[in-house]
Amino acid sequence: MVVFGGLAALIVLSPGWDEFHSAFLNWDVFKASFPDIAHAFLLNVKIFCIAEPIILVLALVVAVVRGLPGPVFAPLRGLAIAYADVFRGVPTILVILMLGFGMPALGLSWIPTSETFWGIVALVLVYTAYVSEVYRAGLESVHPSQEAAARSLGLTRFQGLHYVIVPQAVRRVIPPLLNDFIGLQKDTALVGILGSVEAFKQAQIDVSADFNFTNYLVAATLFVAITIPLARFTDWLVARDRRKRQAGGLV
């Protein structure tokens, strides 16, 4: 409280406070631009809701393929490793630009030209690589005796993965998965560089019209209104899991 109070006092008492307040904290501009930016924010939510379930499925497939043993699956493991390395190494904004501008430029009639479509594809590719590593950590955290027990019951390796290994792994990685999806919700704003009018793009349009940066504050407020509840939900899941483990240890 002392630190933030001191920072607030420093800002308010600074010589440029009046100009800063007018340019960034104008309540009239906030109220005027909120409806349009909030309507554009629905596109961010739509992108998130479409990309998230696809990422969950594809990332699990990549993680499982990467963990397949034996020389027979070596090519598939190599592809999974290469995919994760490449899309975790390339900045998300570059993937969005290359797909969003590059794919329609091919001029093929069967390739979609929607900038929102390619923005979603880019986010799915990038976040699938990140989430696959989260899944992989969860799969490796399950003790090998679990797989041995499944095989002793007559289950095949894939049946053991489906009924024994994957359910345990997914429960263990739910908190980090939610953290990744908090990042995904924020990164939906990057789709605006392709021309899609989402919250950040609408804020840019409004700033260009009235030269007031309060419009960015409106967009930031909408993103915070989504991400903070997700963050608190993640904290609650972590605390619940900790209590269960402590109770199990006492028993």
CATH of the domain at 208: 1.10.3720.10
Q: Is 2 within the bounds of a domain?
A: no
Residue 117 lies in a domain: yes
The pLDDT of residue 242: 74
> Is residue 65 situated within a structural domain?
yes
The residue type found at 138 is: G
Is residue 52 one of the residues assigned to a domain? Answer: yes
Q: What is the pTM of this model?
A: 0.86
Give the mean pLDDT of the chain.
Answer: 87
Query: Per-residue pLDDT for 222 more than 90?
Result: yes
Domain of residue 80, residue span: 29-242
Distance CA 14, CA 11 (A): 5
- pLDDT of 89 strictly over 80: yes
For residue 172, being part of any structural domain is answered with: yes
Residue 194 lies in a domain: yes
pLDDT over 80 (residue 156): no
d(CA 47, CA 120): 6
The C-alpha atoms of residue 132 and residue 175 are separated, in whole angstroms, by 14
From the list 164, 110, 105, 117, the residue with the least C-alpha distance to 139 is 164
Structure confidence at residue 248 (pLDDT) = 62
Asked if the structure places residue 170 within a domain, the reply is: yes
What is the rounded distance in angstroms from the CA atom of residue 67 to the CA atom of residue 84?
A: 13
User: Would 92 be classed as within a structural domain?
Assistant: yes
- Domain count of the chain? 1
